[in-house]
Amino acid sequence: MMQAIAAAELGDDVLGDDPTVERLERTVAAILGMEAAILVPSGTMANQLAIRSACESGDEVICHRDSHVLHYETAAPAALSGCMTQPLEGEAGVFDAESVRRAVRPSDQHAPRSRMLVVENTVNRAGGTAWRREEFRAVASAARDLGLHVHVDGARLWNACIARGYAPGEFLAASADSASVCFSKGLGAPVGSALAGSRALIGRARRFRKMFGGAMRQSGLLAAAAIHALEHHVARLVEDHAHAMRLAAGLSGLPGIEVEPAPRGMRTNMVFLRVPGDAAEFCTRLAAQGVRMIPMGHGRVRAVTHLDVDAAGIERAIEAVRSIAGR
Ligand SMILES: Cc1ncc(COP(=O)(O)O)c(C=O)c1O
């Protein structure tokens, strides 16, 4: 990846002439089966550009109650787009078409205008749930029938694809109006995400990206890393999922540690633990042993496997938890 970065042909993407960024954007659009794509600094910006580009102030974004746009994007739908969010219930971050139909507001001057449905795949806070293609088709088609824009927060879309055995374009085909994807998570690039959608949507997003301060100049450096990640780091995600399974098995039964079951029976690259006492303190003690997990509030801890963690690292993590478990 460092060689790809060093060899990247560069221009100025704010002026629209960075050939490596153009190549990445064409590649991502083709993989996702969309007309166009745009490189952005973060997954948050990709989601927020989708909302800003597809919605108006006074609109409503419908999403699962555990979704990233609701919990971890600093109320940006309200702050940047004047949109409110309506949370849906559903096991493991998944909901059905009927919940979407019930959530959509009547066309009435008293009500916000329901305008967008966000489907996260995989669902981070739920433990990395991978949607089934048919489930997504059903909710997306219900949403579209009611005039909603369907946005997929695919920060970990490739993990879902590997776990469920569908291709990204196949999952999104004819059901999604836009999708965000990240190169900097399981795919292992240093920085970068993309938003894909129709040419018109991405044209609007390009303007708002500039407004949000996300237009970058010699960003071919980042695009080269992302292209390398797409070419070399997708098929290997299967290893991350196997490592997560091994981690979950190794941690099960340790005193005081409760491993949350794989969401809907299918593990991707995450393991959530319930730990006694303070989750942040638990993570600090682990970090002192060189193992990093993240507190997710109220006795809940998240471990994520990725390309920098090998099988030996998983065993080391299990031993580190064993050494502090029950203390
Ligand atoms: C599902 C999901 N969407 C979006 C994001 C945002 O990505 P970023 O941290 O690059 O803004 C994350 C980050 O973890 C995520 O898990």
Residues 169-182 have a mean pLDDT of: 96
Least Cα distance to 62 among 30, 102, 34 occurs for 102
Structure confidence at residue 174 (pLDDT): 84
Domains of the chain by residue range: 2-232, 237-324
141 touches 175 (CB < 8 A): yes
Tens of pLDDT, residues 270-320: 999 999 889 999 999 999 999 999 999 889 999 999 999 999 999 999 999
Structure confidence at residue 78 (pLDDT): 98
- Ligand 1 proximity of 159 Cβ (cutoff 6 Å): no
Structure confidence at residue 297 (pLDDT): 87
Q: What percent of the chain has pLDDT over 90?
A: 97
DSSP class of 200: H
Q: Compute the distance from residue 130 Cα to the ligand 1 centre, in Å.
A: 15
Residues forming beta bridges with residue 194, ordered by sequence position: 39, 181
Residue 59: pLDDT above 90?
yes
Tokens of 126: 């739920």
Q: Which CATH architecture has domain 237-324?
A: Alpha-Beta Complex (3.90)
**225 pLDDT tier (thresholds 50, 70, 90):** very high
Tell me which residue has its CA closest to atom 6 in ligand 1. Answer: 43
* CA 66 to mean position of chain CA atoms: 12
CA max distance for the chain:
60
Q: What class, spelled out in words, does domain 2-232 have in CATH?
A: alpha beta
Q: What percent of the chain has pLDDT over 70?
A: 100
Q: Using CB atoms within 10 Å of the CB of residue 326, give its burial: 0 to 12 exposed, 13 to 18 middle, 19+ buried.
A: exposed
- Ligand 1 proximity of 124 Cβ (cutoff 6 Å): yes
Mutate to test the pocket of ligand 1, among 40, 67, 68, 119 (most ligand atoms within 8 A of CB): 68
- Triad 31, 307, 156: Cα angle to 5°: 40
Residues in CB range of 3: below 8 A, 6 or more apart: none
- Rounded CA gap, 190 and 221, in Å? 10
Q: What average pLDDT does the chain have?
A: 97
185 touches 226 (CB < 8 A): no
Residues forming beta bridges with residue 59, ordered by sequence position: 113
Tens of pLDDT, residues 226-257: 999 999 999 999 999 999 999 999 999 899 99
Structure confidence at residue 245 (pLDDT): 98
For residues 251, 255, 256, 260, the Cα torsion angle rounded to the nearest 10 degrees is 30
Q: What share of the chain is helix, strand, coil (3-state, %, to 5)?
A: 45, 15, 40
Q: Compute the distance from residue 110 Cα to the ligand 1 centre, in Å.
A: 33
Mutate to test the pocket of ligand 1, among 185, 212, 272 (most ligand atoms within 8 A of CB): 185
- Ligand 1 proximity of 128 Cβ (cutoff 6 Å): no
Count of CA atoms in the C-beta half-sphere (13 A) of 19? 4
Q: Compute the distance from residue 327 Cα to the ligand 1 centre, in Å.
A: 33
DSSP class of 267: -
211 touches 80 (CB < 8 A): no
Tens of pLDDT, residues 120-166: 999 999 999 999 999 999 999 999 999 999 999 999 999 999 999 99
CB atoms within 10 A of CB 288: 10
Mutate to test the pocket of ligand 1, among 42, 63, 182, 269 (most ligand atoms within 8 A of CB): 182
**326 pLDDT tier (thresholds 50, 70, 90):** confident
Residues in CB range of 118: below 8 A, 6 or more apart: 47, 61, 62, 63, 64, 67, 69, 151, 152, 153
Structure confidence at residue 262 (pLDDT): 97
Structure confidence at residue 325 (pLDDT): 87
Least Cα distance to 119 among 104, 103, 139, 98 occurs for 139
- Rounded CA gap, 44 and 250, in Å? 33
Residue 100: pLDDT above 80?
yes
- Ligand 1 proximity of 155 Cβ (cutoff 6 Å): yes
Residue 84: pLDDT above 90?
yes
Pairing of strands 149-154, 178-182: parallel
Q: What's the sign of the alpha-carbon dihedral 251, 253, 255, 261?
A: positive
- Rounded CA gap, 319 and 289, in Å? 10
